[in-house]
A and B are shown apart, each in its own frame.
Chain A
Amino acid sequence: MTRRKRSVLPGFGLTLGLTVFYLSIVVLIPLSTVFLKSGGMGPSHFASVAFSERAVAAYRLSFGAALAAAALNSVFGMLVAWVLVRYRFPGRRLMSALVDLPFALPTAVAGIALTALWAADGWIGRFLDPLGIRVAYTPLGVTIALVFVGLPFVVRSVEPVLEDVGRDLEEAAASLGAGRFTIFRRVILPAIAPALLTGFALAFARGVGEYGSVIFIAGNIPYRTEIAPLQIITQLEQYDYAGATAIATVMLLLSFAMLLAVNILQMWRRRRMER
């Protein structure tokens, strides 16, 4: 006589039910409206809206700046992670807290602060203006804002792996005669590569969708300095639901692709650790 599978701890049915219910109501059903609406638009209409000249310019800005920012963050984020993990110095804990600041600070606050710094008459901008370097209201400004936003992702992704790699691997390599840069290139970099890529992907994904930190410094001129999320809002304000949805769909698909990429990277990393 075989019996159904039973759980020892109580509450399975209830908690699973509640979880799925809340998840559906808050996340799944609302998200599905985007795809349903896009689906209802028919492929040619969808394509013409989602890939209009203006939209493509917006994607180029959002994706481009996010890519550049994520790349910059990968280099400097790795540096910061290295310093935090390998060295002990006064103020280390403060530095670590600083890394989390972009994550904790509301985006609008960051947005106006960054503009105050980099505008032509801003704290830093006023030194750059005579040099002909305009930051605010240009793609450069957008990139700098995204560097601020994406930094924690890279640092926090790489830190635990750097801790794992441990001093002894480096010491072993050194005792075998490897120079510092070689050690870095052939021992450390391969070990942290998956984590670094994960951080990069997360920073990139966050950067593409970022709104509050960027909207003040961006300039927001269509076809030139308009980020994709802003275009969604503009179209909503004009009650062009279809247009807004089309762009949102493109962004969502990108988000899911990034999520998938990150998950695959995590799996790759886990498999490497088990070898």
Chain B
Amino acid sequence: MARRLLIAAALAFLGLFVLLPFIAVFVEAFRQGVPAFLDALAEPDAMAAMRLTLLVAAISVPANIVFGIVAAWCITKFEFRGKGLLITLIDLPFSVSPVVAGLIYVLLFGINGWFGPWLRANGVEIIFAVPGIVLATIFVTFPFVARELIPLMAEQGRDDEEAAVSLGASGLQTFWHVTLPNIRWGLLYGVLLCNARAMGEFGAVSVVSGHIRGLTNTMPLHVEILYTEYNFVGAFAVASLLAVLALVTLAVKTLLEWRYGDQIQGMGH
């Protein structure tokens, strides 16, 4: 039966190329047993990496949430020329290689960069320090929330907001009482994706971080360091935490799509 064959072929393809690598992470992490796994995670540099990852996410995700909401409101509730251009510009970070994303901040704030001398003179460290990592992360996760909200809010139209304003509500009141409840699941969805990328970003952060153990290593960078030192169990142990994060992200994402699919819309990448 053609149907069974096709399903099997699709499953085989996905199994080989997608599922297997995912499983490999966990198998390799526990290759030397549970104690070795836990030791690898409790190691001070690993813990520092986890703290840094959380810190970076805690700064960049809220920043992009605010931006995403502001941009979506601007684009969907008003008519003006250049909207298409604005949307394309917002999408830009998606099409830029992560390494290039890191490079641009080095060009701005690195030692030989535009602001390099000034920063050096004032003792401000951006590249090879946490601020650089935050900036690069903000760049690569920039579009997520906006891209999710824009089609959603565009589809919802302006009627509700016009009704609220006609009843005397201010802009902020309208947003809080009327718009926000209408977009909450889409917003959560966007935040989820933004967060996953913020915590997992590698290329861009690799360029700006300086790889200083215990100080400027996020979890993905720490994975790399451990791997190149042939500490495979350590590398996969930290990697498995990130893989669990991916799993949770996917699970919540699937749940949201299933329960609130009609309120999320616009899931094209």
Contacts and interface: CB of A to CB of B under 8 A. Distances in A.
Please determine if A and B sit in direct contact within the complex, based on CB atoms under 8 angstroms apart. yes
Nearest to A180: B2
B28 interface: yes
Interface stretch (A3-11, A131-139, A164-172): A3-11
A226 interface: no
Interface stretch (A31-39, A41-49, A185-193): A31-39
B165 A10 contact: yes
B250 A34 contact: no
Given A93-B258, A123-B20, A212-B203, A263 B88 contact: yes
B61 to A, nearest CB: 14
Interface in A110-161: 110-114, 116-117, 123-124, 144, 147-148, 151-153, 156-157, 160
B220 A27 contact: no
Task: Output the residue of A23, A96, A180 with the most chain B CB within 10 A.
Answer: A23
A239 B112 contact: yes
A221 interface: no
B11 A233 contact: no
A15 interface: yes
A95 B254 contact: no
Contacts of A255: 95-97, 100
B30 interface: no
A245 interface: yes
- Interface of B (DSSP majority class): helix
A74 B196 CA distance: 26
A82 interface: yes
Interface string B13-24: 110011111101
A59 to B, nearest CB: 12
Contact of B97 (A9, A157, A209): A209
Contacts of B19: 98, 101
A108 interface: yes
Interface string A22-66: 110011111101100100000000000000000000000000000
Interface string B230-269: 0010011001001101100111011000100000000111
Given A26-B138, A27-B139, A232-B99, A112 B17 contact: no
B140 to A, nearest CB: 10
Contact of B170 (A10, A104, A144): A10
A252 interface: yes
Contacts of A23: 71, 86, 89-90
Contacts of A109: 25, 200, 220, 223, 239, 242-243, 246
A15 B139 contact: no
Contacts of B100: 34, 209, 229, 232, 248, 251-252, 255
A67 B256 CA distance: 34
Main SS of the interface on chain A? helix
Interface residues of B, number: 94
A102 B19 CA distance: 10
A3 B173 CA distance: 28
Given A22-B67, A232-B99, A147 B165 contact: no
A268 interface: no
A24 to B, nearest CB: 9
Nearest to B136: A30
B168 interface: no
B22 A105 contact: yes
A233 to B, nearest CB: 6
A65 to B, nearest CB: 14
Contacts of A229: 97-100, 203
B22 A113 contact: yes
A233 B73 contact: no
| Chain A to chain B: the 8 pairs with minimum beta-carbon distance, closest first | A209-B97, A106-B200, A10-B171, A211-B203, A212-B202, A15-B74, A229-B99, A113-B21
